[in-house]
Amino acid sequence: MSQEGAELDREPAVRVEGVGVGYGDVLALDGVDLAIAQGRVCGLVGANGSGKSTLFKTVTGMITPARGRVLVHGLTPTAARKRGLIGYVPQSEQVDWAFPVRVADVVMMGRYGHMGITRRPRAADRAAVADALERTHLSDLADRQIGALSGGQRKRAFVARGIAQGARVFLLDEPFAGVDKRSEATIVEVLRAMRDAGHTLVVSTHDLAGVPELCDEVALLQRRVVAHGSPEEVLTPQRLLETFGIEGRPVREVA
Amino acid sequence: MEALLDWFTVPFQFEFMRRALLVAVVAGGVCAVLSCWLTLIGWSLLGDAVSHAVLPGVVLSYLFGLPFAAGALVFGAGSVALIGVVNRTSRVKEDAVIGIVFTAMFGAGVVLISKIPSETDLMHILFGNVLGVSDAEIAQILVMALVTLVVVAVKHRDLTLFAFDRVHAHAIGLSPRRLEALLLGLLSVTVVIALQAVGVILVVAMVIIPGATAYLLTDRFERMLAISVAVSVAASVLGTYASFHFNVATGGAIVVTQAAAFGLAYLFAPRHGVLGRRLRTRAVVARGEAPRAGAPS
């Protein structure tokens, strides 16, 4: 399959076609179809074990699906990775917050794909880092150790890393977990600005915090996509009951 | 004052002491560099494993008259690969797999040792022989140390990225697998270097303690590397001199000195030391300040 000269603007930003993934005799994903247009924020909502992480890993190419395929801006995950198109914002629990790196160091890690073999930063890399910090309102905190940030600031630091990287598609794993209301509002503001600049965001979450405020569309995942549409269409009590097996928390504190 | 000066200069007149200091300092320095990543990734047990697993390789090398490095590298890298395979293909947890593989290797080494005619050589393998190290061994150590340091100089930012966030490393097109293999390869070489200085049993201290000590003293990786090397080299020098003056085993003296440095950092490190933290907590309480969310801890 030739991807040479593929236009990066090729739609959709993320296309998942009939993807099936199994671990041993457990089926994690079973025929997932999903297309997310460029410049959209898509909430990926599902209970624990619904396959959200597996789907993320398939999009980044860490897992090769047994069936189906994934395209990011028309490119295979491997090609998209090589071009730095995919930005990943990890879950809080997956990060060692005591690691001796500064915020600016973490954001600079986004530039490594653009650097020579020793990853020595050049003026362009420093400028990209400064710009990313500015856009995530972290310029004043650049010299802090990464763990010395609040929950919301930590998330924004990793978003800044993706911006410095030049990523077009962002995968955010539970971005609102352990984040207070005010920080949540700042994150939503930053992410919306990114969407308006043409980035595509996929936000995975197992509760509905922040989803209606942030997302243009929602995909409900239960080993396959059981519904995909606007938050109002998808997050109905009936659907939430089916997905979570319990009365889903109603769309929270939204008028 | 003069007595202190003599303490350092008198032993230095001896050829064997100069060689011992060279080996101890080089081994200490290289180990200290690697120990930073091992500490941060949480690979101390793996460092322990590799250092024990090289034993059969060293004994075989000895029996066939080969350089220690040859056999040690084969068994060091082989054990790491074996740990990886068993870990991926069985339900046994990684720490158990590491424990099984390295004790099995060490056991095989102990069995092979019974084939060694001389007690002295056995002691040298287990506890090092820095005071009697040969020219050929020094040459090997210097070459391996140089190669390790050059590779680290080129790849250190990638290794730190790997230690911090391997998913991101993957997402920007690097290979976490390859970086992992590189780091483990460097670890095997480093273990072989340090083996000459302190022996199979104490090598693990050299690849853990300096990094752990530095980790208590700074929140910046570059500084952590510098502190780690400084602590380790100082411990090598002091330990070697102590072994001369007090007529005790050199490897043991070096490791005890390192452990003392760790103990001091554990107690007195300004930010992360036990006493420093307690004092700051008391000061905050006295001022009646509520702990700030996200404040540096």
3-state secondary structure of A94: helix
Say what angle helices B55-64 and B94-113 make with each other, to 10 degrees: 30
- Distance, CA of B275 to CA of B266 (rounded, Å): 8
Q: Is the pLDDT of residue A7 over 60?
A: no
**pLDDT at A99 > cutoff 80:** yes
Least confident range from A41-45, B142-146, B198-202, B283-287: namely B283-287
pLDDT-derived band at A40 (thresholds 50, 70, 90) equals very high
Number of domains into which chain A is organized: 2
Q: What is the mean pLDDT of chain B?
A: 89
Report how many domains make up chain B.
Answer: 1
Same domain, yes or no: A157 and A197: no
Q: How far is A79 from chain B (nearest CA, A)?
A: 9
Q: Which domain holds residue B252?
A: 2-286
Q: Does residue A105 share a domain with residue A64?
A: no
For chain B, give the percent of residues with pLDDT over 90.
54
The answer to whether residues A201 and A115 touch, using CB atoms and an 8 Å cutoff, is: no
Sequence-distant (≥ 6) Cβ neighbours of residue A248 within 8 angstroms: A208, A235, A237, A239, A240, A241
Interface test with A, best of B35, B36, B172 (most A CBs within 10 A): B172
Q: Does A122 contact chain B (CB < 8 Å)?
A: no
Considering only the beta carbons, identify the residue of B155, B164, B171 that sits closest to A96. Answer: B164
A85, A163 contact by CB (below 8 A): no
Q: Is the pLDDT of residue B120 over 80?
A: no
- Verify that A197 and A255 share a domain, yes or no: yes
* Closest Cα in chain A to B224: A100
Q: What whole-number distance in Å separates Cα of residue B60 and Cα of residue B68?
A: 8
**Quick check: A36 pLDDT over 90?**
yes
User: Does B138 reside within a domain?
Assistant: yes
Question: What pLDDT is recorded for position B294?
Answer: 46
Q: Compute the distance between CA of residue B208 and CA of residue B211 in angstroms, rounded to an integer.
A: 6
What phi and psi values does residue A32 have, to the nearest 5 degrees?
-80, 125
Query: Taking Cα atoms as reference points, which of B164, B179, B138, B135 lies closest to residue B26?
Result: B138
Residue at B291 is within a domain: no
pLDDT score for A238: 83
**Over the stretch B248-275, which tens digit does the pLDDT of each residue have?**
989 999 999 999 999 999 999 988 899 8
Query: Does residue B296 lie in a domain region?
Result: no
pLDDT at A157 over 80: yes
Question: Quick one: closest CA in A to B223, which residue?
Answer: A100
Q: Are residues A74 and A194 in the same domain?
A: yes
Looking at residue B290, what is its pLDDT?
54
Q: Using an 8 Å CB-CB cutoff, list chain A residues near B40.
A: 96, 99-100
Asked if the Cβ–Cβ distance from B172 to A112 is below 8 Å, we say yes
- Closest Cα partner for B32 from B224, B238, B242, B252? B224
> Residue A179 domain-assigned?
no
Please judge whether A119 and B219 are an interchain contact, meaning their C-beta atoms are less than 8 angstroms apart: no
Measured distance CA(B81)–CA(A244) in Å, rounded? 42
Domain membership of residue A1 (yes or no) is: no
pLDDT band of B286, cuts 50, 70, 90: confident
pLDDT tens digit sequence for A105-125: 999 999 999 998 899 999 999
Do the domain assignments include residue A182?
Answer: no
Q: Is residue B230 part of a domain?
A: yes
User: What is the 8-class DSSP label of residue A39?
Assistant: T
CATH assignment at residue B279: 1.10.3470.10
The CATH code of the domain that includes A23 is: 3.40.50.300
A180 found inside a domain: no
Residue B246: pLDDT band (50, 70, 90) is very high
CB-based contact A37:A10 (threshold 8 Å): no
Nearest to A154 by CA among A124, A123, A186: A186
Chain B residues in contact with chain A using a Cβ-Cβ cutoff of 8 Å = 40, 153-155, 157-158, 160-161, 163-165, 167-168, 170-174, 215, 218-221, 223-224, 293-297
Mean pLDDT computed over every residue of chain A: 88
**pLDDT(A9) > 70:** no
More confident residue, B33 or A4: B33
For residue A253, pLDDT beyond 80: no
Peptide bond into A175 cis (omega under 30): no
Chain A residues in contact with B153 (beta carbon < 8 A): 118
Task: Tell me the one-letter amino acid at A34.
Answer: L
Position B296 scores a pLDDT of 46
Q: Which chain A residues are within 8 Å of B296, Cβ to Cβ? A: 144-145, 147-148
Q: Which residues contact A143 (CB under 8 A, 6 or more apart)?
A: A102, A103, A104
Task: Judge whether B297 lies within some domain.
Answer: no
For residues A176-203, give the mean pLDDT.
Answer: 90
What is B180-247 written as a DSSP string?
HHHHHHHHHHHHHHHHHHHHHHHHHHHTTHHHHHHHTT-S-HHHHHHHHHHHHHHHHHHHHHHHHHHT
The pLDDT of residue A24: 79
Largest CA distance in chain A: 54
In a shared domain, residues A96 and A75: no
What integer is the mean pLDDT of A16-25? 90
Identify the band that residue A3 occupies on the pLDDT scale cut at 50, 70 and 90: very low
Residue B297 scores a pLDDT above 50: no
Residue A87's alpha-carbon distances to A62, A159, B61, B152, in angstroms, are: 14, 8, 49, 27
DSSP, collapsed to helix, strand or coil, labels residue A232 as: helix
- The radius of gyration of chain B from alpha carbons, rounded to an integer in Å, stands at 21
Q: What is the pLDDT of residue A4?
A: 39
Rounded (5°) CA angle A186-A192-A194: 105
Between these two residues, B89 and B289, which has the higher pLDDT value?
Answer: B89
Q: With cut-offs at 50, 70 and 90, classify the pLDDT of residue B96.
A: very high
Answer yes or no: is B145 within a domain: yes
In a domain, B295, yes or no: no
Q: Is the pLDDT of residue A247 over 70?
A: no
Residues A32 and A93 in one domain: no
How large is the average pLDDT for residues A84-111?
94
Q: What dihedral do alpha carbons B172, B176, B182, B188 form, nearest 10°?
A: 150
- List CB contacts (< 8 A) between B37 and chain A: none
Mean pLDDT within A67-90: 93
Provide the residue range defining the domain that includes A250. 10-80+169-174+187-255
The answer to whether residue A37 sits within a structural domain is yes
Q: What is the pLDDT of residue A246?
A: 56
B131 — pLDDT class (breaks 50, 70, 90) = confident
User: Do A192 and A221 share a structural domain?
Assistant: yes
Q: What is the pLDDT of residue B289?
A: 58
* Tens of pLDDT, residues B184-240: 889 988 988 888 788 888 889 999 999 999 999 999 999 999 999 999 999 999 999
- Assess if residue B157 is contained within a domain: yes
